[in-house]
Amino acid sequence: MRRWLLLLTGCLIGVAQATPTESPVPVKAYLTLIIDDLGQNLPRDRRVLALPGPVTPSIMPDTPHAAEFAREAHAAGKIVMLHMPMDPATGPFAWHPELPLDELKTRLAAAFKAVPFTSGINNHEGSRMTAEPLAMAWLMGELQRRNKFFVDSRTSAKTVAAAEAQKIGLASVSRDVFLDNERTEPAITAQLEEAIRLARKHGSAVVIGHPYPQTLAVLERELPKLKEQGIDWIDIKSMIALRGNQASEAHGKQGIYR
């Protein structure tokens, strides 16, 4: 009887050891930070450049300091992005679904001219425009021709932008967390904590914020703590390479954007 009990106990221990209790945590956790809506206010925008890491500035073409700030960001070693206005955004550069292709092409070329040194773009607003498959397919082809990457800000669940980029193999990635839809420091801190949680769970997180005073205050305080929390802050090109054009679990299935 004693021998039988010992054998049974051993089997139960083996079963317990073989049954996982939780999903494995990724060995590395990476985070990328993009700050949108830059070019309006140089002293404010320079605080973004002073953040302690590879922040990616995304500059609006219809702002008074777009070209000057793009040059400063490039000189500071930052990867510069064009923050391209798309419907429902307005202005001389904005894309709208009713515009002919020639006009879309003209506005994109003018926006690139207004913001020099750009390596890629993301959409400013665009909940209507990024749901247009034909326009998004043309845009991704044009970006590939220009050797630019694309970041889908995902301002709408109906976006097809990242899916169209994936179809042709354009270097691209999608936003996971908006930091500051609510402009209070506690809410922004909570969103940054959510980004860290996602990075630990899935291996990476793409974060977008804006140069609001509350956002900059939180980032200046919290970003220096990332390393001690086991988070590697990497630039946008490194994040695109890391993800390899695959959709995250939140945005697709088996790596394919839905």
Beta bridge partner(s), residue 253: 256
> Is 21 domain-assigned?
no
Per the structure, the complete domain to which residue 73 belongs is given by 29-244
Confirm if 191 and 219 have CB atoms less than 8 A apart: no
User: Is 185 domain-assigned?
Assistant: yes
CATH number of the domain that residue 55 is part of: 3.20.20.370
The DSSP call for residue 26 is P
**Whole-angstrom Cα distance, residue 69 to residue 62?**
13
Q: Domain total for the chain?
A: 1
> Is residue 155 in a domain?
yes
Cα separation, 62 vs 91, whole angstroms: 7
Domain-located, residue 250: no
Q: Is residue 38 included in any domain, yes or no?
A: yes
Q: Is residue 57 part of a domain?
A: yes
| pLDDT tens, position by position, 79-129 | 999 999 999 999 999 999 999 999 999 999 999 999 999 999 999 999 999
Q: What is the pTM of this model?
A: 0.88
* 87 within a domain of the structure (yes/no): yes
Helices vs. strands in the chain: H and E counts, helices first: 9, 11
pLDDT digits (tens, 9 = 90+) for 183-241: 999 999 999 999 999 999 999 999 999 999 999 999 999 999 999 999 999 999 999 99
Domain assignment present for residue 11? The answer is: no
Residues 6+ apart with CB under 8 A from 116: 67, 70, 71, 74, 80
- The count of other CB atoms within 10 Å of the CB of residue 159 is 23
